[in-house]
Chains A and B, each alone.
Chain A
Amino acid sequence: MKEIMIKDYIGSDTAVSYDDGKRCQKDIAECLDKGEKVILNFLGISYVITAFLNPVIGDLILERGNGVMKFIGIKNANETAIQKIKRVRDGALIKREDLEE
């Protein structure tokens, strides 16, 4: 199991950049490829927008299927971050369903 600190990709308490999300996604993907579970630690992240979460959450579900959710854990995310994570996750699950049909 590997813990990934979101703050390491941002350098502040605010995650608004899609490019930062892509860098984070790359490291998550490397762990997943090795069969490792990944814990995304949002410690020190006060604010996040969906543009950052699209690659980190949404693209991984779209690329790897619903099963990937069992390999990704969320830790220390605040209430508004969780709401946005859910929005991106649920949207990706619907899209994934459409792709499979």
Chain B
Amino acid sequence: MFSYDNNVKDKKLFIKISVEVKYNFQFLNDITELIHKVENSSCEIVYILCNPLDINFNKMGMAYLYNTLLSLAEKKNIFISSSLFKIVHAQVLHSSGDKFKKIELYREALKSVQQCYCFQGDKDVNKTVQILVDFITDKNLILENAKEFLVTTIGEIFSNAFNHSDRNQVFFMYDIEWNNDKFFLVINITDYGKTITGNVQEYQKSVHKKYLSGKECIEWAMKNGNTTRLGSGGYGLPTLVDYVSKVYGELFIFSGDCMYALEGTIEKILEAKGIFPGTSVSMKLPLFDTSKAVMYDKESNQIISIDLDQI
């Protein structure tokens, strides 16, 4: 997805976005490689290039890439080509978590702008969940016990981010995706703080005088009751896995040099291509029975009508 040209002589690193920026597992993994290459490059100046005619992108992928570049810009001088800037400028908007607004399916599926929300503390999390729930239940997009599901999953992810990352800033974005005759809710929650692997390694070293590899750290963190906090804890991630697997959803967690992937009921813990400097949690949840609410034209890739009572 990205090609790299390290010009050591001029101390410049050129990164070209070769084909597409689509929000999926491969993209998320490639982003860890991009971060690793930028952070470990001896070059202080990094250029991000793309040919807008070649590039095939979706808004969530573009927003995630842009957020990554913003976090890297704290450590290196990042320049993006004017063509990429134009795409980002037209596609990505940032606002604080309290600006999260009621969702309109028709506008949401058609709009080209990806909104990213920044939460400072967990006070706006309830409102976010409530809006997502209202949207799902209002539009007959059946996710069984939607509120219980979203309160638990989103609540546990935010709680982990605020309590383990050492940062009071968490980024949230969502998209409604159409694929194979189904709508999906895609959610990403990211912090750029302490990683799962870093926290577990620190804990194991100080408490058990043991060294665990990145994969062993993720495996340990996913087990019920394992926590690096003193006291009770360690039920958030297993609960999240239980809930997502029950609806045959997808869950990807990138943290440090490793990642956890759940697709349906199949779990994998693998080394990432690079290193994620924080924790990025992505969920993709199927929303059923959309035929009751909308008509979708696969060829033009557009919603062509929406029932009168659903407007």
A residues sitting closer than 8 Å to B (CB atoms) are 12, 14, 16-19, 46-47, 49-51, 54-55, 57-59, 61-63, 80, 84, 87-88, 91-92, 94-95
Interface of A (DSSP majority class): helix
Q: Are A47 and B151 in contact (CB under 8 A)?
A: yes
Contact flag A47-B236 (CB < 8 Å), given A55-B231, A58-B231, A91-B225? no
Q: Are B232 and A51 in contact (CB under 8 A)?
A: no
Q: Are A62 and B232 in contact (CB under 8 A)?
A: yes
Q: Is B235 at the interface (CB under 8 A from chain A)?
A: yes
Nearest Cβ on chain A to B204's Cβ, whole angstroms: 15
Q: Are A88 and B235 in contact (CB under 8 A)?
A: yes
* Residue of A with least CB distance to B229: A54
Given the complex, which residues of B lie within 8 Å of A55, measured CB to CB? 231-232
Query: Taking each of B152, B163, B236, which has the highest tally of chain A beta carbons within 10 Å of its own beta carbon?
Result: B152
Taking A12-B126, A47-B151, A92-B232 as known contacts, 4 extra A-B pairs with beta carbons closer than 8 A to each other, sorted by chain A number, are: A19-B122, A50-B235, A51-B159, A55-B232
Q: Are A91 and B152 in contact (CB under 8 A)?
A: no
B residues sitting closer than 8 Å to A (CB atoms) are 122, 125-126, 129, 145, 147-148, 151-152, 155-156, 158-160, 162-163, 224-225, 231-236, 239
Some 27 contacts from A to B, beta carbons below 8 A apart, are A12-B126, A14-B129, A16-B125, A16-B151, A16-B155, A17-B159, A18-B163, A46-B148, A47-B152, A47-B155, A49-B151, A49-B156, A49-B236, A50-B156, A50-B235, A51-B155, A51-B160, A51-B163, A54-B232, A54-B233, A55-B231, A55-B232, A58-B233, A62-B232, A63-B231, A87-B235, A95-B225
Given the complex, which residues of B lie within 8 Å of A95, measured CB to CB? 225, 232
Q: Are A91 and B147 in contact (CB under 8 A)?
A: no
Given the complex, which residues of B lie within 8 Å of A58, measured CB to CB? 231-233
Nearest Cβ on chain B to A14's Cβ, whole angstroms: 5
Nearest Cβ on chain B to A79's Cβ, whole angstroms: 10
Separation of A27 and B145 alpha carbons in the complex (Å): 32
Query: Taking each of B148, B155, B162, B232, which has the highest tally of chain A beta carbons within 10 Å of its own beta carbon?
Result: B232
Nearest Cβ on chain A to B157's Cβ, whole angstroms: 10
Separation of A47 and B154 alpha carbons in the complex (Å): 12
Given the complex, which residues of A lie within 8 Å of B126, measured CB to CB? 12, 14, 16
Given the complex, which residues of A lie within 8 Å of B155, measured CB to CB? 14, 16, 47, 49, 51
Given the complex, which residues of B lie within 8 Å of A80, measured CB to CB? 145, 148, 152
Q: Are A17 and B234 in contact (CB under 8 A)?
A: no
Contact of B236 among A46, A51, A59, A62 (CB under 8 A): A51
* Residue of A with least CB distance to B238: A87
Separation of A57 and B232 alpha carbons in the complex (Å): 8
Separation of A95 and B230 alpha carbons in the complex (Å): 11
Given the complex, which residues of B lie within 8 Å of A14, measured CB to CB? 126, 129, 151, 155
Contact flag A87-B224 (CB < 8 Å), given A16-B125, A51-B159? yes
Nearest Cβ on chain A to B242's Cβ, whole angstroms: 10
* Residue of A with least CB distance to B154: A16
Q: Are A16 and B231 in contact (CB under 8 A)?
A: no
* Residue of A with least CB distance to B125: A16
Q: Are A49 and B159 in contact (CB under 8 A)?
A: yes
Nearest Cβ on chain A to B150's Cβ, whole angstroms: 9
* Residue of B with least CB distance to A95: B225
